[in-house]
Amino acid sequence: METIPFNRPFMTGKELQYISEAHLQGHLAGDGLFSRKCEAFMEQQFGIARSLLTHSCTAALEMSAILVDISPGDEVILPSYTFVSTANAFAKLGATPVFVDIRPDTLNLNEELVEAAITPQTKCIVPVHYAGVSCEMDEIMRVGSDHGIAVIEDAAQGFGSTYRGKPLGSLGDLGTLSFHETKNIISGEGGALLVRDPELALRAEIVREKGTNRRAFFRGQVDKYTWVDVGSSYLPSDLIAAYLWAQLEESDEITRRRKAIWDRYHEAFAAAEEGELCRRPIIPDHCSHNAHMYYLLLPDRARRDRFIDLMRGEEDILTVFHYIPLHSAPKGQEVGRVSGEIATTEELAGRLVRLPMWLGLEPHQDRVIESSLRVLEKIS
Ligand X SMILES: *Cc1c(COP(=O)(O)O)cnc(C)c1O
Q: Would you give the DSSP letter of residue 131? A: G
Amino acid at 264: R
Instruction: Write out the DSSP string of 266-289.
Output: HHHTHHHHHTTS-B-----TTEE-
Q: Which of residues 179-208 bind ligand X (CB under 6 A)?
A: 180, 191
Measured from the CB atom, the residue of 178 and 319 that comes closer to ligand X is: 178
Helix (H, G, I), strand (E, B) or coil at 233: strand
Measured from the CB atom, the residue of 62 and 250 that comes closer to ligand X is: 62
Tell me the closest approach of the beta carbon of residue 39 to ligand X, in angstroms: 17
Q: Which of 45, 122, 157, 213 binds ligand X (CB under 6 A)?
A: 157
Is the separation of the CB atoms in 112 and 160 below 8 Å? no
Phi/psi of residue 169, each to 5°? 105, -20
Is the separation of the CB atoms in 39 and 52 below 8 Å? yes
Q: Which of 80, 85, 134, 184 binds ligand X (CB under 6 A)?
A: 85
Measured from the CB atom, the residue of 83 and 90 that comes closer to ligand X is: 83
Tell me the closest approach of the beta carbon of residue 130 to ligand X, in angstroms: 7
Measured from the CB atom, the residue of 98 and 310 that comes closer to ligand X is: 98
> In whole angstroms, what is the distance from residue 278 CA to residue 330 CA?
31
Is the separation of the CB atoms in 132 and 112 below 8 Å? no
> In whole angstroms, what is the distance from residue 123 CA to residue 148 CA?
9
Task: State the greatest distance between any 2 C-alpha atoms of the chain, in Å, as a whole number.
Answer: 72
> Is 88 among the residues that bind ligand X (CB under 6 A)?
no
Q: Which of 56, 134, 170, 288 binds ligand X (CB under 6 A)?
A: 56
Tell me the closest approach of the beta carbon of residue 366 to ligand X, in angstroms: 28
Binding region for ligand X (CB under 6 A) out of 80-88, 139-147, 198-206, 277-285: 80-88
Helix (H, G, I), strand (E, B) or coil at 135: coil
Measured from the CB atom, the residue of 254 and 376 that comes closer to ligand X is: 254
Tell me the closest approach of the beta carbon of residue 178 to ligand X, in angstroms: 3
Tell me the closest approach of the beta carbon of residue 279 to ligand X, in angstroms: 21
Q: Which residues bind ligand X (CB under 6 A)?
A: 56-58, 82-83, 85-86, 128, 154, 156-157, 178, 180, 191
